[in-house]
């Protein structure tokens, strides 16, 4: 059995964070410059059924049977075996690596699940189709987040923009075409910021002044809809002002920070078409829309004002 390799990208929220919690639409896009990778190879000397999992970046090496049931790697492999109705896989080694920063809102957990499901099922001779990979990765997400929306596993499985809206009786999750590629810089403030804390603060503020926050959420939802139209129409440069407007709303929601402001301003001054915080806010990452020939100047500006890391990603053209 030849070794099989599969990979999956990270993700960022382009529009609509926080408002999405209150039923307004959001857009996420894949981040292909960072990746999770899984390699599955035969282990001829070992007994059938033995699956050795190696994840050097998190210092993990264990047999599948020895991992606890709530281990996300075990969950992904077990779901694949159950789906394929295989009780005793051939002896093999599963090696996992990732360049996606962890706990940074970049979807590293979902990307590992997707890469693992693809490589393992292909090694077993039954590569799973995307809809099954997506559904199984969603089950693994429940271990990471409890009540995941499903946006991370979807954008990462299909590696294309996703339009998402929470709805009673079933969320709306749609992939959509992006006929023109565009370039986004992702820069990290270096300030860790648990998403749950920012989400809790927004909830308290909303409870104190519902009309004001509902209006902010409405405007964020309108921006996400306008952004989808611009992407679908092949006019991604129109996203710049929409990003600036979304950032202003997030400021008003109280989730920006001095570090985020410094990076957003520096990106705009260096020529970005638009910039905003991305994800929970308070710290974490910001994103900037840039023309290909501005990547270097804007990256240098971001690093110059203290970004811990900056990297570029391209949202590729998809029909």
Q: Which residues bind ligand PMV (CB under 6 A)?
A: 13, 17-18, 20-21, 105, 149, 195, 199, 279-280
CB of 148 to ligand PMV, least distance (A): 8
From the CA atom positions of the chain, what is the Rg in Å?
Answer: 20
Give phi and psi for 93, each to the nearest 5. -120, 135
Of 274 and 284, which has the nearer Cβ to ligand PMV? 284
- Which of residues 53 and 253 has its CB atom nearest to ligand PMV in the complex? 253
Least Å from the CB of residue 199 to ligand PMV: 5
In the chain, which ranges are continuous DSSP H helix? 72-84, 108-123, 130-145, 151-158, 195-208, 210-232, 239-253, 258-269, 295-304
Neighbours of 280 (CB within 10 A): 22
Three-state SS at 199: helix
> In sequence order, what are the beta bridge partners of 9?
35
95 versus 282: smaller Cβ distance to ligand PMV: 282
- Is the separation of the CB atoms in 105 and 3 below 8 Å? no
Active site residue 66: no
Sign for the pseudo-dihedral over CA of 154, 156, 159, 162: positive
Which residue in the list 152, 209, 244, 293 is annotated as catalytic?
Answer: 152
> Residue for token digits 């997400």?
141
Shortest distance (Å) from residue 16 CB to ligand PMV:
7
Min separation Cβ 164 and ligand PMV, Å: 9
CB 105, min distance to ligand PMV, A: 3
| Residue whose CB is less far from ligand PMV, 77 or 100 | 100
Residue pair 147/195 in contact (Cβ under 8 Å)? The answer is no
Residue whose beta carbon is closest to ligand PMV: 279
Complex with ligand PMV: residue 28 or 81, whichever CB lies closer: 28
- How far, in Å, CA of 108 to CA of 101, rounded? 7
Residues annotated catalytic, as ranges: 152
């Amino acid at each position: 059995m030849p070794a099989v390799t599969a990979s999956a990208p990270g993700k960022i929220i382009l529009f609509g964070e926080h408002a999405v919690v209150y039923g307004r639409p959001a857009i996420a896009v894949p981040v292909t410059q960072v990746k999770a990778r899984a390699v599955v190879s035969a282990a001829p000397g070992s007994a059938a059924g033995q699956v050795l999992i190696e994840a050097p970046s998190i210092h993990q090496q264990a047999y599948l049977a020895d991992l606890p049931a709530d281990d996300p790697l075990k969950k992904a492999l077990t779901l694949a075996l159950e789906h394929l109705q295989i009780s005793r896989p051939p002896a093999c080694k599963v090696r996992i690596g990732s360049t996606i920063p962890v706990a940074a809102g970049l979807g590293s957990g979902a990307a590992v699940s997707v890469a693992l499901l693809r490589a393992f099922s292909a090694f077993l001779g039954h590569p799973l189709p995307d809809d099954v990979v997506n559904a199984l990765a969603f089950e693994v997400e429940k271990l990471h987040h409890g009540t995941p929306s499903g946006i991370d596993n979807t954008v990462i499985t299909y590696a294309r923009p996703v339009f998402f809206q929470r709805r009673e009786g079933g969320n709306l999750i749609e992939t959509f075409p992006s006929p023109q590629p565009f370039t986004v810089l992702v820069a990290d403030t270096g300030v860790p910021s648990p998403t749950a804390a920012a989400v809790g603060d927004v909830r308290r503020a909303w409870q104190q002044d519902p009309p004001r926050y509902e209006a902010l959420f409405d405007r964020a939802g309108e921006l996400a809809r306008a952004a989808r139209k611009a992407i679908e129409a092949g006019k991604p440069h129109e996203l710049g002002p929409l990003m600036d407007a979304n950032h202003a709303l997030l400021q008003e929601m109280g989730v920006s920070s001095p570090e985020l402001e410094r990076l957003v301003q520096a990106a705009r001054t260096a020529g970005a078409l638009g910039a905003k915080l991305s994800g929970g806010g308070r710290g974490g990452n910001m994103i900037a829309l840039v023309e290909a020939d501005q990547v270097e100047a804007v990256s240098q500006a971001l690093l110059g004002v203290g970004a811990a890391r900056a990297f570029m990603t391209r949202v590729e053209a998809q029909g």
